[in-house]
Structure 1
Amino acid sequence: MQGITPETNDYKHLVYEVDSEHVCWLTLNRPEKLNAMNLRLIAELQAGLQRADRDDNVNVIVIRGNGRGFCAGHDLDEDAAEDRTSIYEYRAHYIYQFEEFTTPWTVTKPVIASIHKYAIGKGFELSLFCDVSIVTSDTRMGYNEVRYGVSGHCMFLPWVVNMKTAKDLLLTGRELTAAQAKEMGLVTEVVEPDQLAEATRRKATLMARMPREMQRMHKMYLNRVYEMQGLRAATDYYLEQVAIMGAQPVPEYAEFSRMTAEKGLRAALDHANARYEGLD
């Protein structure tokens, strides 16, 4: 993108760039995996966000994805290899990863998610705790991992939509179109695929030209409104439930993991999806 000057870093799965308008562009860079989140990418994204938050040359942060989609969710290959022998260690691991992954919410500067094609599972959740989401019209979103016995991770969903909508999405695992997500209040703006870069640039530039400290004050104020209503207590409760389920997976997930290890992820997904065919 014109005007961007790359900065030196040791990231493997993230590209960190700052442009002349004081916008930091963080690009998820695992295109061969549709930018699926593994432990390293999550850690690098946190590091990039915190670096931008400290950088006096940055007013706004944009998260986008390289390749064919924004983020296809959690890296299920890595997930199948996780050590779950101790519920206490697994719980600590999960809580630490929650703190890493929710960094877009906790940094003081505004964060925009610039989304194309896929925002599934963790990619969907990542978009929920960004401050603004700009999405292409062909994007698919949702928590389809629950159909395989994989829980969500952060569960900001009930704080973004009404109760009936949250239950519909979580209890069916159905995917949404961008238009449906916009109608539900899950995204800020929907644009055509060839307009995403320009729409994101314009929004980021507008926000970057606002008084910086005013932006930071209002972001943190609005976050506190939701936290005072119970957001953090609710997500902490969800984390405890997920830690138990992660250490003692449901039978469907145990079967999914076994098939992933023996036959590969594609075969496991096809097998798991077969029982839902024709019902969406």
Structure 2
Amino acid sequence: MDLITPETTEYEHLLYEVDAEHVCWLTLNRPEKINAMNERLIAELRAGLLRADQDENVNVMVIRGAGRGFCSGHDLDEDTADDRSSIYDYRMKYIRQFEQFTTPWTVSKPVIASVHKYAIGKGFELSLFCDVTIVTSDTKMGYSEVRYALSGHCMFMPWLVNMKSAKDILLTGREVSAKEAKEMGLVTEVVAPEDLHEATRRKATLMARMPREMQRMHKMYLNRVYEMQGLKSATDFYLEQVAIMGAQPLPEYVELTKMTIEKGLRAALDHAQARYQGLD
């Protein structure tokens, strides 16, 4: 993969634009995959966010998805080519990707997730560590990948909901509706699908007109509150567990990967999901 830096202006899977209100719109642009996250897209999103954070003409960033949904999660097709021969190398891959993927949390300016239809797995996590999340009423969210023995990656979710809700989501792998996500505290606002762009634009414009350095100070402060309560230690611990499981995948995931190669991803997911039919 080519080196992608904040100075990068040519993207393969990302659209980057800044409007007159000093809002940077970052659009995940793999619509044929419902914006599934591969290594290239994660690196481009990080570069775009860092570029906007350094741009004096940008006060707020918005992440949204092109096409049928915000983000369908991790690109499972890319996994079939993974080299898992060294647990140490694989661990470093996870650590590097964690640093890239959590950039919305670490940049100094506010980041809004503008979510429609699907926010699953990595898409779900991406929406969680943005500062504000606006979703359409038909959005489904959650960690459905755990049903296929594929772990989450960042695990911010327990810091946003109570313990019972966190365990219900993670130990069942069920998807939650937009309404339920709002009640749990996973999202900021729920709007009609046709109102998403306008609701996002209004929120972003309001935030962009606030004093920039005041915004930066308060984002840093609020993030630090959660980090002092243990968020960083907890996510680091989870990352170590994920790295081990990634290098030594569970039998269910081995079967899923094998079937993906032989019969395609859709057939593999349908086969894996069959055991849960009728239980949600």
Which residue in the other structure is 2:79 paired with?
79
3-state DSSP of counterpart to 2:147: helix
**For 1:81 and 1:158, how far apart are their aligned partners in 2?**
31
**Paired AA for residue 213 in structure 2:** E
Which residue in the other structure is 1:12 paired with?
12
Residue deviations 1:48-73, cap 9 Å, x none? 00000000000000000000000000
3-state DSSP of counterpart to 2:133: strand
**Paired AA for residue 206 in structure 1:** L
What is the TM-score with the length of structure 1 in the denominator? 0.97
Which residue in the other structure is 1:148 paired with?
148
**For 2:145 and 2:245, how far apart are their aligned partners in 1?**
14
3-state DSSP of counterpart to 1:223: helix
**For 2:25 and 2:161, how far apart are their aligned partners in 1?**
28
**For 2:236 and 2:18, how far apart are their aligned partners in 1?**
34
**Paired AA for residue 47 in structure 1:** A
3-state DSSP of counterpart to 2:134: strand
Work out the number of aligned pairs and report it. 274
Which residue in the other structure is 1:49 paired with?
49
**Paired AA for residue 180 in structure 2:** Q
Residue deviations 1:102-129, cap 9 Å, x none? 0000000000000000000000000000
Which residue in the other structure is 1:251 paired with?
251
What is the TM-score with the length of structure 2 in the denominator? 0.97
**For 1:24 and 1:192, how far apart are their aligned partners in 2?**
23
1:194-209 to 2 correspondence within 5 Å?
A: 194-209=194-209
**For 2:177 and 2:80, how far apart are their aligned partners in 1?**
29
Which residue in the other structure is 1:4 paired with?
none
How far residue 10 of structure 1 moved from its aligned partner, in angstroms, is 1.0
How far residue 79 of structure 1 moved from its aligned partner, in angstroms, is 1.6
**For 2:169 and 2:70, how far apart are their aligned partners in 1?**
20
4+ aligned runs moved over 6 Å, structure 1: none
Identity %: 81
**Paired AA for residue 262 in structure 1:** E
How far residue 81 of structure 1 moved from its aligned partner, in angstroms, is 1.7
Q: CA RMSD in A?
A: 1.0
Gaps of 5+ in 1: 1-7
**Paired AA for residue 141 in structure 1:** M
3-state DSSP of counterpart to 1:85: coil
Which residue in the other structure is 1:103 paired with?
103
How far residue 9 of structure 1 moved from its aligned partner, in angstroms, is 2.1
How far residue 80 of structure 1 moved from its aligned partner, in angstroms, is 2.2
**Paired AA for residue 260 in structure 1:** T
Which residue in the other structure is 2:268 paired with?
268
Which residue in the other structure is 1:132 paired with?
132
**Paired AA for residue 93 in structure 2:** H
**For 1:196 and 1:241, how far apart are their aligned partners in 2?**
37
Which residue in the other structure is 2:89 paired with?
89
3-state DSSP of counterpart to 1:9: coil
